[in-house]
Amino acid sequence: TIDEARVRSQMSVREGEPYTNERVEQDIRNLYATGTIEDVQFSASDVAGGVSVTVIITGRGAIGEITFLGNTSFDNDKLLKESEIKIGDPVDDARLSAAQQKIRELYNKRGYGDVLVSYETGAAQKEGFTAVTFKLDEGARGIIHDIRFEGNTVLKESKIRSKLKSKERKFWSLWGKSWKLDNDALQEDIKTVEGAFHNEGYVYAKVLEVRREPVGAEKVDLVFVVDQGEKYDVADVSMEGLSVFTQEELTNGIKAEAGFPYSGADVTDDEKMIQQYYGSRGYADARVDTSILDAGPGQVKIVYRITEGSKSFIRKVNIAGNSTTQDRVIRRELPFAPGEELNTVKVDAGRDRLQNLNYFSQVDIRPNPTGMEGFKDVDINVTEQPTGSVNFGAGFSSIDSLVGFIDLTQTNFDIGDWPHFRGAGQRFNLNLRYGLKRRDFRMSFTEPFFMGQRLAFTTELFYRDLYFLSDRFDQSEVGGSLGLRKPMGEHSYLEGTLTAQNITIDGIDENASQAIQDEAGDFFQTKI
């Protein structure tokens, strides 16, 4: 059974709202994204005053049994907890594949680099439910004792080792995991070793194999067998497929240069530069294929073959997955808008901005076809994560003596959303310290887009009892501040703060000096 209210919450097609194909397409995407829907169909029929919409939904079956076979190093409860699936969850291949990967990673962390994990589904004993069975072949545990290289005569082994994810076990790394054999890390290390040779001009260098030589119980030596080949210089660099731009326009950003040793890193940077050059000018589908051709003894020719594609503009920006964060909070971070050229560099910058908010555990931004020539939609899918925190504790110092504290912070605050107070991208902090010699109260609120502009407005209220300043008198401060902060580009800003406070000095000891007694009373202070 699928909860109707939950389905409706994912839909923009509602009574009283316009019925459009765009809304239907977006609703279908949103419903499939929940992972609980197997099939969804919309149908509409004309009625007096509008249309009648029928939505037919087929839900995924639910998990009724979860079984693990072949596990000896971890018990079922541990694997079940690690998999993050449970009885009653929908049978979703993406979720089961993620569980499979989590179990593999658990074994990899323990040093079982050869573990094999598979799953299968079948009918559960309870009618209408599905049984999920995970099958494991744990393999042997491997702890890396040493890493060596055969066939290398040109590179410092220590330099190569420093770049690898796999590490030798040292006496100071008892709690690490890089010294545990991990096949995924090993595959990346093979590419890293080959890349190290490619960057020094050895174009065709290749790791032939990685031997695992046993060294006592559970320990292995990793031996990278390398065919480093011959060193090559670049004889020529050319581009093919250019029609929109000329080679001269692109040459200034090219790193690979005739007469110098070949570098795989330079070629990768050149491919990225060419794609960004096109992408920043609306050619989002531009692609670069590189050929390395023989040009005589010790020489190669680099050919960048470019498929330019056609220029695209943004039709719509669609947002999904933001169950808490308001659309406008996401849109104001985007350096692009409908009607503009589809600038892929700006799309990447928008992704970075959204990730830097720390509101989302995952941000996916993709340009997708619309069926309209020259236009694409930018589809944004986010996964919300917790943005609030509560910290409390106690401590002792020679200045404050015994003090306790509590701190509440919400980085995605909404002052107008009672009682949840989340989703508007504001920041709220409440801090209280209470001790024998110090009592502090501080409350602050920040609106990062004040009056609809990229202008942060911050206000703060505070109260402080500063008993630790002296045994001869008591001092308290109460006040507040107003601040504005204006970004000046991506990495700088202009900031100003006005603070006003009332300072009270009382409780003066009768033996205090005349200078202290003269300070008794209230004082109002402002500063910028």
pLDDT in tens, 19-69: 888 889 888 988 877 666 778 899 989 888 889 999 998 766 788 899 999
Report whether CATH 3.40.50.300 matches the domain 4-59. Answer: no
What are the sequence ranges of the domains in the chain?
Answer: 4-59, 62-137, 143-227, 233-307, 313-384, 388-527
Top CATH class, 143-227: alpha beta
Global pTM value: 0.68
Tell me which CATH code domain 388-527 carries: 2.40.160.50
Is 3.40.50.720 the CATH number for 62-137?
A: no
AA letter at 463: Y
Q: How many CB atoms lie within 10 A of CB 121?
A: 14
Q: Note the pLDDT of residue 1.
A: 54
Predicted confidence at residue 469, as pLDDT, reads 63
pLDDT at 172: 46
Contacts 24+ apart (CB under 8 A), 257-261: 258/234, 259/233, 259/234, 260/233, 260/234, 261/200, 261/201, 261/231, 261/232, 261/233, 261/234
Report the C-alpha gap between 406 and 442 in whole angstroms. 11
| Shared fold status for 313-384 and 388-527 | no
The CATH code of domain 233-307 reads 3.10.20.310
What pLDDT is stored for residue 471 in this prediction?
67
Angle between helices 183-198 and 264-279 (to 10 degrees): 100
> In this predicted structure, what is the pLDDT of residue 187?
86
**CATH tag for 313-384 (out of 3.40.50.300, 3.10.450.30, 3.10.20.310, 3.30.420.40):** 3.10.20.310
Burial 57-92 (b: 16+ CB within 10 A, else e): eebbebbbebebeebeebeeeebbeebebeeebbbb
Q: Which amino acid is at 285?
A: D
Q: From CA 325, how far away is CA 193, in angstroms rounded?
A: 43
The answer to whether residues 223 and 161 touch, using CB atoms and an 8 Å cutoff, is: no
What are all long-range contacts of 361-370, with beta carbons under 8 Å and residues at least 24 apart?
A: 361/385, 367/284, 367/312, 367/342, 370/315, 370/316
Given a cut of 50, the residues of the chain with pLDDT beneath it are 172-173, 175-176
